[in-house]
Amino acid sequence: MGVINTAAAFENIGKAGFLDIEVDADLDLFAEIERLKQEKNAVVLAHYYQEPDIQDVADYIGDSLGLAQQAQRTEADIIVFAGVHFMAETAKILNPSKKVLLPDLKAGCSLSDSAPPALFKLFKEKYPDHLVISYINCSAGIKALSDIICTSSNAQKIVESLPADQPIIFAPDKNLGAYINKQTGRNMVLWNGACMVHEMFSLEKINRLKVRHPQAKVIAHPECEEAVLRIADTIGSTTQLLKYTEKSEFNEFIVVTETGILHQMQKNSPHKTFIPAPPNNSCACNDCPHMKLNTLEKLYLCLEYEQPELVMDEEIRIAAKRPIERMLEISAQYGL
């Protein structure tokens, strides 16, 4: 980090995705970020998969639904989104007049990338009588082609809010879609997308962990494959899993989602034990390479220089706004 001067860093931002400016190693980044937030009336929204330091400086940490709701109600002038691109995009769609910053513009999402809008448009044309429900982990282009957006915490309620005989296309996550089909008895047409992180968990290694920790409860995110979900004691969004561990009478959990969430779990239940589920490779835990592109240094720099900023096409923004608002309306009706 920090190889070029400020002017060159600004010029290079499109290529690098972030401001590559050297940060003084003695700077108290926590204090500096707090100062800048006050001075600029900025808010830091962070997802649970962010590194612990970022979670600790955030004004709000949450799952995708909570983050969208916070983005909708914030009165800050600047939103720093410590998450991935589609999350910052959602904040911008809801707040066109606010400045939305993302510490690293290259923080993408494999699931979102699995649904290119041009291909999805052709797919949708094959099912003219179907409504489209899209998981929030998709680009604004896909949102603009959708009728309602959902997240992992409200997907079931959103599907159930539609008449039982309403044909539905569910995109882009086939695992979440299959799970919701199973829960609701529907037969939604599924787009063939998946999250690289959640597809990588090893059923065999989780089963071995279960043998070593017979008291542990397996808690899993619905982006995991069906075989993993079948052995889970509870399934839910990151916030739902976190709440489950807080309220549970059990003390040990095998956590089958991205490891960032363990920071809040351990913080909120210091006497309980959290074991990250291992992926299908030589690593012991499973980090999202996109989420982990953001760092505390990049967050500080983007707040200081107000770059990189998320900008978007106004036509797509307007088309993508209605399905997000529908999700927020239905969620409010159910008290979510």
Q: Toward ligand 13P, which CB reaches closer, 179 or 300?
A: 179
Query: What is the total count of residues that contact ligand 13P (CB under 6 A)?
Result: 10
Cis peptide before 279 (omega within 30 of 0): no
- Residue 285, Cα to own-chain centre: how many angstroms? 18
Tell me if 331 contacts ligand 13P by CB under 6 A: no
User: Residue 106: what are its φ and ψ, rounded to 5°?
Assistant: -85, 0
Give min distance, CB of 152 to ligand SF4, in A.
Answer: 10
Tell me if 245 contacts ligand 13P by CB under 6 A: no
Give min distance, CB of 35 to ligand 13P, in A.
Answer: 29
User: Among residues 69, 139, 151, 259, which is the contact residue for ligand 13P, using CB under 6 A?
Assistant: 151
Q: How many residues are present in the chain? A: 336
Give min distance, CB of 258 to ligand SF4, in A.
Answer: 5
Rounded to an integer, what distance in angstroms lies between the CA atom of residue 125 and that of residue 127?
5
Q: Which does 63 bind (CB under 5 to 8 A by kind): ligand 13P, ligand SF4, none?
A: ligand 13P
- Structure-token pair, residue 293: 């592109």
Give residues 215-234 in contact with ligand 13P (rule: CB under 6 A): 221, 223
Rounded to an integer, what distance in angstroms lies between the CA atom of residue 326 and that of residue 324?
5
- Structure-token pair, residue 94: 């809801």
Give min distance, CB of 221 to ligand SF4, in A.
Answer: 9
Cis peptide before 172 (omega within 30 of 0): yes
Where do contacts with ligand SF4 occur on this chain (CB under 6 A)? Answer: 49, 84, 109-111, 137, 195-197, 258, 288, 290-291
Q: Toward ligand SF4, which CB reaches closer, 290 or 326?
A: 290
Contacts of 79 (CB under 8 A, 6+ apart): 42, 43, 45, 71, 88, 91, 95, 98, 99, 100, 101
Give residues 152-211 in contact with ligand 13P (rule: CB under 6 A): 152, 195
Q: Tell me the residue type at 112.
A: S
Q: Which of 152, 175, 142 is nearest to 63 (CA)?
A: 152
User: Among residues 50, 55, 64, 175, which is the contact residue for ligand 13P, using CB under 6 A?
Assistant: 64
Tell me if 137 contacts ligand 13P by CB under 6 A: yes
**Which parts of this chain interact with ligand 13P (CB under 6 A)?**
63-64, 137, 151-152, 195, 221, 223, 237-238
